Structure formats: structure tokens, C-alpha cells
Amino acid sequence: MSVLVLALLCGAVIGLALGALGGGGGVLAVPAQVYLLGVAPADAGTTSLVIVVVTSATALARHAGTGNIRWRTGALFAAAGVAPAIGASVLAHRLPQTVLTAAFAVLAAFAATAMLRGARTAHRVPRAAASAEGDAPRTNAEAAVPVPGRPRSTDTAAGTAPLPATGTPAATTNGTGDAAAARTPEGPAGTAGHPRTAAAGAGLGAVTGLLGVGGGFLAVPALVSVLRLPMRTAVATSLVVILVNAVASLTTRVATGGASLDPAVLGPLVGAAVLGAWDGKRLGAKLSGTALQRAFAALLLAVAAFMLADVFV
């Protein structure tokens, strides 16, 4: 099979994952390039960053008019990750390929675990709510699917806020689904835990720079738990963080001359991923969200096991 066809197929699968689940495509992009297209791990991370930049910028443009984005909060959170993202991007091309492969395998396993935990939460909460109200459980198409990085709302038409990926209760909402009062004992959202905010932002930037993933499955829980943002606001604001870190990492890799982008792989892969994301969005609306999460998590666990076996066996 030619490189062009393989790149198109890989991009389509990555796009379907991004569209159907709202995240996780970056985690799948690197191993797909390494094992199917023969791209070096560091270069695969660079190509993955291009996909992250394009898809996150597109999603951010869609969210810009909703009023859910806290630009200042996202900028401050992202600022903490810029320096680590730049440093990790330089380091990525100096580390042995086996180290990068092993690190990525651990990240994939972590992402799969987070997805499985989110799927369990999505399965329990609708049933508990239906039992309390005396109604039958809603279908997964109607229920919240707290996908790490891109959770969907519980009921968009009704304006009900989605559930946090961490499993904590969502903030009280008004008719639009935004928090009416996102306050905690520590104070208003976004004012507590500045050291933790800096640490979370720095960690996310380092992961993005080193491994070439967006890290939405890390950013959203951090914005919810550290900054106490409502879930819908955290999802939209995370796009600012992801885009800033990805641009900083990609620019550094290109500027230092460490990036080696093959147009024969990059063009078809990115194009198919963007187009596939639209089909994936429609697919996700028709199929069981929880089942999709579990299937994708199982795929990530299998990929992680294969990568670790490739390194140590």
C-alpha cells in the first residue's frame, strides 16, 4: 500500500476519533505514523502538532461566539506552559527514540485509563438520575459523555451543564448552561491555587512539547479542579491552552531545524484528519458515546502495550 493511501487512512481514523470523542486524536496520531508510515517518533510528534494546531484553531473559532471562553484565564494558564513547551520541544529531538516511545506509551495508557473512568461516570450518573426521578435511563446520545479533553453537554437543548471529567458535581447553572455561581470555599473561580495552576500549566506544556499531543484530556480536568471552572467553560477555555502550547512547540521545532516534515505524509494526514473530524462528529451523535469511549480506550491500551513491547522486548 502506498504512503499516500496509508496517510489518508490514518488521517481519517484520527479525524473520526477527534470528531466522535472530542479528543484523543493526537494520542493516536504518533503511533500511527511511527508504525504504519515509518516516521521517527520525534518527527511524528511534529506532524501531530500540526494536526493539533489546525483542529484546535478550528474548534476555537466555533466556540468564540458562545461566551464560554475565558480568554484571560486561558492565556494565563497557557503562559505557564510556554517555556516548558519550548524546552521540551528542543529536548524531543535529542532524546533516544526508545525513550520517546516508552514515554508516549505511558501517556497513551494514562489517557485510556482516564477515558475508561469517564465512561464509567457517564454510565452511572444518568441511571442514578433516572432512578431518582422514576424514569427510565436516557440513551447515551442524550446523556453526558465526559470525554477527557472534549466533554459533550448532557442535554444541549435544555442547557444542562455536562459532568466534569473528574466526576465532581457540575456547578449550578442558569438557562444557558453556564455557571450561575462558580464559587468554592476558596473563592471565585480562577482565584485559588496559583502555584497549582502554574504547575498544571507547566506540566501540560511539557507534555505537548515533548510528545506532540494536545493534552486536552489533561487540560480540562486541571481547569475544573484547579481553577474551579464550570465544565462547559473549561472545555472551551482548554482550546486556548492547547493552541498556545501547540503553536509554541511547533514553532520551536521548526525554528531549531529539528523538524523533518514529509509533505507526502503531512498533507494527506492533516487533510484527512480535518475532514474525518466532521464525519466523526455525526457518527458520535448516532452511536453510543460510552461504547465509543471504551472501544477507543481499549485501542489505546493495546497501542501502549505494543509500544512498550517494542521498546523492551
Cell numbers describing residue 286: 448516532
C-alpha 122/C-alpha 94 separation (Å) is: 41
Task: Give the pLDDT score at 24.
Answer: 64
Most confident range, picked from 72-76, 167-171, 278-282? 72-76
Burial zone of 79 (CB within 10 Å; 0-12 exposed, 13-18 middle, 19+ buried): middle
Give the model confidence (pLDDT) of 99-142 as tens digits: 988 998 898 888 888 778 766 665 555 454 444 444 444 433 33
Mean pLDDT within 12-23: 75
Report the C-alpha gap between 25 and 168 in whole angstroms.
25
- How close are the terminal C-alpha atoms of the chain, in Å? 28
pLDDT of 22 over the 50 cut = yes
Residue 117 is predicted with a pLDDT of 78
Mean pLDDT score, 200-226: 85
Question: Residue type for 247, please?
Answer: V
In the chain, the DSSP E strands lie at 183-184, 187-188
Rounded mean pLDDT of the chain?
Answer: 74
Task: Identify the pLDDT of residue 246.
Answer: 92
Among candidate residues 45, 25, 177, the one with its CA nearest the CA of residue 115: 25
Phi, psi of 227 (to 5 degrees): -100, -5
Q: Which of 261, 263, 262, 264 is nearest to 2 (CA)?
A: 264
User: What was the pLDDT predicted at 130?
Assistant: 46
How confident is the model at residue 1, as a pLDDT?
A: 63
pTM greater than the 0.85 cutoff: no
CA distance 54 to 29: 14
pLDDT of residue 45 exceeding 80: yes
Condensed to tens digits (0 to 9), the pLDDT of residues 48-104 reads: 899 889 888 888 888 888 888 999 989 989 999 999 999 999 998 888 988 988 998
Residue tagged 472545555 (cell numbers): 235
Per the model's pLDDT, the better-predicted residue between 198 and 82 turns out to be: 82
Q: Which of 47, 68, 50 is nearest to 3 (CA)?
A: 47
